[in-house]
Amino acid sequence: MSIPTAVPFYLVIEGSFDPYVAERDVEACTWAGTVKDIADCQFENLTSVIEVGTGRNVADRMVREAAELRNIEGREYSHVMFKLVELHIGTRVAHAMVR
């Protein structure tokens, strides 16, 4: 599968004490693919999501979009997702999503 070079790619960084880049297929490193993986709780220790080329950390925006995707799909919030939302968006938002 060829991916257009104009599409931004995103690196998921996991781990607080010994950070590492999560191993993923290149096709999944798009915005939509990364949001889907976050919504599917593929990353338990997600600390940041770096946009290749700009170096911006877009984790907060992606976690918010992933939480909204889970809500739209009617999926329950796991403990992992709750903690991720709490860390990146805030405790109030995390508690509101559980209700």
Listing DSSP states for 58-92 in one string gives: -HHHHHHHHHHHHHHTTPPPPHHHHHHHHHHT-HH
Q: How confident is the model at residue 11 (pLDDT cuts 50, 70, 90)?
A: very high
pLDDT at 1 over 70: no
Per-residue confidence at 51, pLDDT binned at 50, 70, 90?
very high
Query: Partners of 57 in the beta sheet?
Result: 50
Please give the pLDDT value at position 91: 82
Would you state the pLDDT for residue 2?
A: 56
pTM: 0.86
Q: What is the mean pLDDT of residues 23-45?
A: 93
